[in-house]
C-alpha cells in the first residue's frame, strides 16, 4: 500500500507577488485510500496564500479519495506578500496524509 508524493513542479520558477502559480504533482497510493492534502508557507516569512474569498492564510487543506492508483494534482495558488520585498525565495510545502502515514515535499520559487 504505497503512499507517495512526487516532486512538486511549480509552473513558474520566479514570481512577483501578488501572482498566481500552479503546483503540479502526483500522489501514488491505492484506490479508495482517503487522503488529506495540505499546502503551507513558512510561518516566518511575509508571504500568504490568498483564498477566493480574499482572505489570507499560511496554509489550507482538503480531503479526497484515490480514484486510481495515481492522482494528478494541478493546484493553482495565489501568492501575496505583506510589506516590501524581504525574501529572495520561498518554499511551498505539500503534505499528503493517510491516517498516521504521510509524505511531504517542497518546491522552491524565487521572488523577482
Partner 1 sequence: MKHLVPSGGNLFFKVFFLLYFCHIAVDAQVVTKQKTVTKTSTAVLIGATEITLDISGRSFSDILPFDIPFILAGTQGVNSKITLDKIISIECFYKVRKDIKNNEKFPDPSEQKRYQDWEDGRMYAFWENNGSDAKWRLSIKELPPNRNFSFFFKFKRKLSDDEKTKLVNHAVKIIPKLINQKADNSVVSLSIKDMDEIMYATINQLNVDLMGSGQEIDEIALSEMNRKIVLKAMEEVAFAFEERIDEQESISMNFDALKGDSTALAKFLSGYKTSADKNAGNVSAMNNVVNSLKSIFSYPKGENAINPENAKNYLNQIEYVKAELEKAQFQDGSPFNNIKNTFIGHLEDLARNFNEYIESINNTITITNTETNNFITAVVNSFEDEIIVNSSTINHNFVTRSNSFITADIGVALMPSIAKMVPYLGTNIYLRPINQDRPLFMKDLFKLRDFDRRFSLMLGLTYITLKKDGYRDDLMGTFNLITGAGIRIADFVKVNGGVIWHTRLNPNPLNTNNTVRGLGFVSLSIDLQINTVFNKLFGANVITLPTKP
- Residues in contact with partner 1 by the rule CB under 8 A: 1-4, 40-45, 85-91, 93, 95, 97, 99-106, 108, 110
- Gap between the Cα atoms of 11 and 21, Å rounded: 6
Shortest distance, position 71 Cβ to partner 1, whole Å = 16
- CB–CB of 35/63 below 8 Å? yes
- CB–CB of 95/107 below 8 Å? no
Q: Which is nearer to partner 1, 22 or 30 (CB)?
A: 30
In 3D, which of 68, 67, 50 has the Cα closest to residue 59?
50
Shortest distance, position 88 Cβ to partner 1, whole Å = 6
Q: Which is nearer to partner 1, 11 or 14 (CB)?
A: 14
How long is the chain?
Answer: 112
Shortest distance, position 27 Cβ to partner 1, whole Å = 13
Secondary structure class of 48 (helix, strand, coil): strand
Q: Which is nearer to partner 1, 8 or 53 (CB)?
A: 8
Amino acid at each position: 500500500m504505497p503512499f507517495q508524493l512526487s516532486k512538486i513542479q511549480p509552473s513558474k520558477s520566479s514570481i512577483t507577488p501578488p501572482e498566481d502559480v500552479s503546483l503540479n504533482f502526483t500522489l501514488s497510493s491505492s484506490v479508495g485510500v482517503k487522503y488529506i492534502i495540505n499546502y503551507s508557507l513558512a510561518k516566518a516569512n511575509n508571504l500568504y496564500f490568498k483564498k477566493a474569498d480574499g482572505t489570507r492564510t499560511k496554509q489550507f487543506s482538503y480531503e479526497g479519495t484515490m480514484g486510481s492508483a495515481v492522482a494528478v494534482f494541478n493546484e493553482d495558488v495565489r501568492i501575496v506578500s505583506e510589506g516590501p520585498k524581504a525574501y529572495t525565495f520561498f518554499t511551498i510545502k505539500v503534505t499528503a496524509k493517510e491516517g498516521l502515514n504521510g509524505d511531504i515535499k517542497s518546491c522552491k520559487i524565487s521572488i523577482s
